[in-house]
Amino acid sequence: MKYSIKLFFVLFALLSLTLSSQSLVNKKICVDPGHGGHDPADDRYIPATGLWESDANWDKALHLKPILESFGATVILTRQGNSDADDLALSVRAGIANSNNVDFFNSIHSNGWQGTSNSTLMLFRGYDNQPVFPNAKTMSNIMVAQIYTANRTTGTSVRGDWSFYPDWGTSGLGVLRPLTMPGVLSEGSFHDYIPESWRLLNTHYRRSESWAIAKSYLSYFNAGTITTGTLAGILRDSLQDVSYFYISSTNDRKKHVNGVTVTLQPGNKTYITDQKNNGFYYFDSLAPGTYTLYFNAPGYGADSATVTLAANQLRFVDRWLPELPNYNPPVVTSYQPANGDSNIILTKPIIINFDMRMNTTLAQAAFSITPNVAGNFTWENNNRRMIFTPNPKYSPGVTYLVSIATTAKSAWGVALANNYSFSFRTRLKLNLLSAYPDSGAVNVPARTLFTFVFDAPISASSLGSNFQFVDENNSPVGVILNSPGLAQGMIQFETINPLLTNKTYTINIKPGLKDIDQMEFGETKSFPFTTEMENYVSGQVLDPLETIGQWKDPNYSGSTVGTNADLTTFTMSQDRKISGTYSGKIAYVFSNPSGGVVRTFNAAKPSVGSNNTTKVGLWIWGDNSKNNLEYWFYYNTSTNVIVPICNIDWIGWKLKYVPLSQVTGTGEKLFHSVVISQTANGSLNSAIYIDDLQMNIATGLEETTDDFNPTSYGISQNYPNPFNPSTFINYQIPLKGRVSLKVFDLLGKEVETLVDEEKEPGIYRVVFNASKLASGMYFARITSGEFIQTIKMNLLK
């Protein structure tokens, strides 16, 4: 009996020792950092912050692995890096866990949805109340609480993937489906919620989540608790608001402070908050006890906090850093309108910026405007920006003098050292600043964005008969108006249907067009223009640009120079397209006034053959940037040839092509890059879209296809057939004479006259554009002398 009691106490002591040492010995855990690499279509890139979800997932895994190993666990990672090659198939990731016979599988992710949420989600395989592995749901409930505590999200959710994705049936998540052991997928927070996205750029914030996951395993395996604690927090400026969306129930409204030195005593540990707009600091592995944190940052008063930390505790100490008093005289740093400005709209606010917070009452009392105008004051930027809005408005054609007297004082009671004054003159009429296309323009794309820019917001109710778009017969052309543009002073629209080629259209602006101040345009202006002459029939499409494929970001290429790398990108876009769902968008910002090159490289390097008559090109949505477009080719596999294409002096879709005769070198040619080359008068910031890379392009209104005279009349079957919206018709005549080539519908109604004139003997080709016609069968009938022949054509939209 005594022996049994002794044995019980020995076993209890050993168990207590095991618990206190957090033993995960003999436990095998597979950690899967979700995604991999830097493909914008798959790896969740957030342009506003520069965050890649794949980077954050990988960093969390790198923190988690040694933590778990310190507890004695064996940890297997599903990927060994964060390149595109590391983005393994979901079934492969699960297979790694199965082949290693692990005890648990954990896929680490963050979530995303419209940038307005920030909660924590755990997913396991099965229905909400019928998990395939019950222990997976058990772990989900443990882990969701730990991550929620660490990330301080707004809520939690634990779901079975079959319930969460009901349209998938029992397929569920591909990374959980093949598992032979319990597994979970964690969505720790929302990476597209911008405040959280900034936090996820901080490696120690990621480490905090890794510790939360590690604690979950200690709890799940009943393996003890951590004997140390962690102090962390977020440092904010109580007076400055962020410019992006924030959840109102959080403290994310206020700007985070970068570069704060946080000193921990005792221990003399130091942490400096990064420059990534998160204000986060972090001290882990601290012995339980009482600590004092000291906070110091340029421009802020010193602050401190004393706290008591317990074992296994994560304690947050957030601070609103106090503003440092400023006893210098305040200075007016800028104002609007600028001194001497004219044509000022009658409702334009007056904006005055100070270099420090002001006493709003005294500053408003020191403000005067002559002649006197009633108005309202508002303040922004922590009372550093005063805004005076006239109510109801200024008078037209009047010069106003604005003054700020030295009675204006800062929030610390220091007066302006000098008076400030400036003047501006209000406008008398609505003025047109620019137009696209301009009067008399030629070769305007059949699909373009018409843009007329005025010096004031436009009154929508005044458009009506005061802004007209008509064809050669003075018939109105149907358009789709970009209504939000009116508030920016733009009348911007696209046509419902593509315009006809080689036709003249006119845009008329009448005197009654008004701005929101009811100021009239007061004159009549007409803008006649002619559309481009060429019709296009698509050739052999080499790349429809529906996926990013092997197209690379411009920064991938060493040939890209003189750009802002963060703002120069290649992405797939649904904003503009010729066919399908997507096109490629090349957005760029040049960082210097000259010498910039943006090269978008296609690693697939499709072959375009070696026939010099072959035409190769893409549909290009021009941005009127006045920069130059180039296509780059290889011959002999890797010898580069640069082919200048054109100046980008249009807005809209044009098929820009080049015959291979202009590509020097012999043998097979490979198309590999679209390049934008900066010009002296080109835009520094712009974007083009590209679609349907193709070869064997056919163009032309009507052209002779051969030099010899045929011996008989004839008309060939149109090509392509079926077609949409254009097709080629070839015909031949052996004798000089009048030729009529007309198109009829099934009811015999004439819908188009393609040719009606005297022709020399020869072989001819004409393009039939049926963009304004409905799908169906049509007949092309040629008549010349006594010769009559008809072909059937199938328009399939």
CA distance 654 to 578: 10
CA distance 143 to 126: 18
CB atoms near residue 170 (< 10 Å): 11
What local confidence, expressed as pLDDT, does residue 708 receive? Answer: 52
What local confidence, expressed as pLDDT, does residue 705 receive? Answer: 46
What local confidence, expressed as pLDDT, does residue 537 receive? Answer: 67
What local confidence, expressed as pLDDT, does residue 771 receive? Answer: 80
What local confidence, expressed as pLDDT, does residue 698 receive? Answer: 66
Residue 746: exposure state from Cβ atoms within 10 A (0-12, 13-18, ≥19): exposed
Nearest to 215 by CA among 24, 491, 498: 24
Compute the half-sphere exposure of residue 71: CA atoms within 13 Å on the CB side of its CA: 29
Nearest to 257 by CA among 294, 230, 295: 295
Share of the chain above pLDDT 90, in %: 82
User: How large is the average pLDDT for residues 766-774?
Assistant: 86
Per-residue model confidence as pLDDT tens digits over 360-411: 999 999 999 999 999 999 999 889 999 999 999 999 999 999 999 999 999 9
- The pLDDT-based confidence of 730 (bands split at 50, 70, 90) is confident
Nearest to 657 by CA among 627, 687, 613, 688: 613
What local confidence, expressed as pLDDT, does residue 15 receive? Answer: 33
- The pLDDT-based confidence of 791 (bands split at 50, 70, 90) is very high
Question: CA distances (Å), 528 to each of 156, 306, 472, in order?
Answer: 61, 76, 10
User: How large is the average pLDDT for residues 445-464?
Assistant: 95
Nearest to 403 by CA among 433, 382, 372: 372
Exposure string (b/e) for 606-619, b if CB count within 10 Å is 16 or more?
A: bebeeeeebbbbbb
Count helices and strands (H / E) in the chain. Answer: 8, 56
Per-residue model confidence as pLDDT tens digits over 665-703: 999 999 999 999 999 999 999 999 999 999 987 665 444
What local confidence, expressed as pLDDT, does residue 459 receive? Answer: 96
Q: Which residues contact 28 (CB under 8 A, 6 or more apart)?
A: 73, 74, 75, 76, 100, 101, 102, 103
CA distance 705 to 715: 13
Do 183 and 125 contact (CB within 8 A), yes or no? yes
Per-residue model confidence as pLDDT tens digits over 25-50: 999 999 999 999 988 666 678 989 99
Per-residue model confidence as pLDDT tens digits over 560-591: 999 998 899 999 999 999 988 999 999 999 99
What local confidence, expressed as pLDDT, does residue 706 receive? Answer: 46
Average pLDDT, the chain: 92
Per-residue model confidence as pLDDT tens digits over 220-249: 999 999 999 999 999 999 888 999 999 999
Give me 328's structure tokens: 């210098």
Nearest to 53 by CA among 195, 208, 191: 191
Strand partners, 476: 470
User: How large is the average pLDDT for residues 502-510?
Assistant: 95
What local confidence, expressed as pLDDT, does residue 722 receive? Answer: 86
Do 600 and 682 contact (CB within 8 A), yes or no? no
Question: CA distances (Å), 202 to each of 56, 234, 276, in order?
Answer: 9, 12, 7
Per-residue pLDDT for 6 more than 70? no
Per-residue pLDDT for 260 more than 50? yes
Per-residue pLDDT for 77 more than 60? yes
The answer to whether the 24-220 and 332-426 domains have the same CATH topology is no
Per-residue pLDDT for 18 more than 50? no
- The pLDDT-based confidence of 4 (bands split at 50, 70, 90) is very low
- The pLDDT-based confidence of 763 (bands split at 50, 70, 90) is confident
Question: CA distances (Å), 63 to each of 102, 132, 191, 212, 223, in order?
Answer: 20, 29, 19, 11, 20
CA distance 626 to 559: 20
List the CATH code of the domain at 537-699: 2.60.120.260
CA distance 351 to 390: 12
Question: CA distances (Å), 717 to each of 361, 453, 584, 701, in order?
Answer: 83, 47, 35, 18
User: Check: CATH 2.60.40.10 for 229-316?
Assistant: yes
Question: CA distances (Å), 83 to each of 38, 95, 220, 260, 268, in order?
Answer: 7, 20, 33, 33, 38
Nearest to 29 by CA among 229, 200, 172, 223: 223
- The pLDDT-based confidence of 5 (bands split at 50, 70, 90) is very low
- Whose tokens are 């960093």? That residue is 59
Coil, strand or helix at 120: strand
CA angle 762, 764, 770 (to 5 degrees): 160
Per-residue pLDDT for 318 more than 70? yes
Give me 519's structure tokens: 């100021």
Do 688 and 600 contact (CB within 8 A), yes or no? no
User: How large is the average pLDDT for residues 269-290?
Assistant: 98
Give me 293's structure tokens: 């944190």
Element (H, E) at 219: helix 203-220
Coil, strand or helix at 355: coil
CA distance 673 to 641: 10
CA distance 631 to 599: 9
Per-residue pLDDT for 175 more than 80? yes
Compare 464 and 711 and report the one with higher pLDDT: 464
CA distance 598 to 554: 6
Do 280 and 234 contact (CB within 8 A), yes or no? yes
- The pLDDT-based confidence of 12 (bands split at 50, 70, 90) is very low
- The pLDDT-based confidence of 109 (bands split at 50, 70, 90) is very high
Per-residue model confidence as pLDDT tens digits over 517-546: 899 999 999 999 999 987 776 678 899 999
Nearest to 505 by CA among 431, 432, 450, 578: 450
List the CATH code of the domain at 24-220: 3.40.630.40
Do 173 and 161 contact (CB within 8 A), yes or no? yes
Give me 571's structure tokens: 């992405």
What local confidence, expressed as pLDDT, does residue 697 receive? Answer: 77
Q: Which residues contact 437 (CB under 8 A, 6 or more apart)?
A: 444, 448, 450, 527, 529
Helices (H), 507-583: none
Nearest to 588 by CA among 552, 559, 564, 612: 564
By mean pLDDT, which of 81-85, 129-133, 267-271, 526-530 is the weakest? Answer: 81-85
Give me the CATH topology for the region 433-530: Immunoglobulin-like (2.60.40)
CA distance 726 to 701: 11
Nearest to 552 by CA among 487, 611, 500, 599: 599
CATH class of segment(s) 332-426: mainly beta
Question: CA distances (Å), 464 to each of 456, 493, 510, 512, 513, in order?
Answer: 18, 14, 10, 10, 9
User: How large is the average pLDDT for residues 244-273?
Assistant: 97
Report residue 598 CA to chain centroid gap. 18
What local confidence, expressed as pLDDT, does residue 766 receive? Answer: 86
User: How large is the average pLDDT for residues 351-357?
Assistant: 96
Coil, strand or helix at 202: coil
CB atoms near residue 263 (< 10 Å): 16
User: How large is the average pLDDT for residues 606-613?
Assistant: 93
- The pLDDT-based confidence of 721 (bands split at 50, 70, 90) is confident
Is the bond leading into 593 cis (omega within 30 degrees of zero)? Answer: no
User: How large is the average pLDDT for residues 589-609?
Assistant: 95
Residue type, 196: E
Nearest to 395 by CA among 344, 337, 452, 430: 344
CA distance 107 to 103: 14
> Where along the chain do its domains lie?
24-220, 229-316, 332-426, 433-530, 537-699, 702-795
- The pLDDT-based confidence of 767 (bands split at 50, 70, 90) is confident
Do 231 and 317 contact (CB within 8 A), yes or no? yes
Per-residue pLDDT for 789 more than 50? yes
Do 105 and 92 contact (CB within 8 A), yes or no? no
Give me 675's structure tokens: 């390049």
pTM value is: 0.55
Q: Which residues contact 265 (CB under 8 A, 6 or more apart)?
A: 291, 292, 294
> Which pairing describes strands 341-344 and 597-601: parallel, antiparallel, or unpaired?
unpaired
CATH class of segment(s) 702-795: mainly beta
User: How large is the average pLDDT for residues 176-203?
Assistant: 98
Give me 173's structure tokens: 């998540």
Residue 385: exposure state from Cβ atoms within 10 A (0-12, 13-18, ≥19): middle
Per-residue pLDDT for 449 more than 60? yes
What local confidence, expressed as pLDDT, does residue 707 receive? Answer: 46
User: How large is the average pLDDT for residues 162-173?
Assistant: 93
Q: Max alpha carbon distance in the chain (Å)?
A: 127
Phi/psi zone of residue 222: left (φ > 0), alpha (ψ -120 to 50 degrees), beta?
left
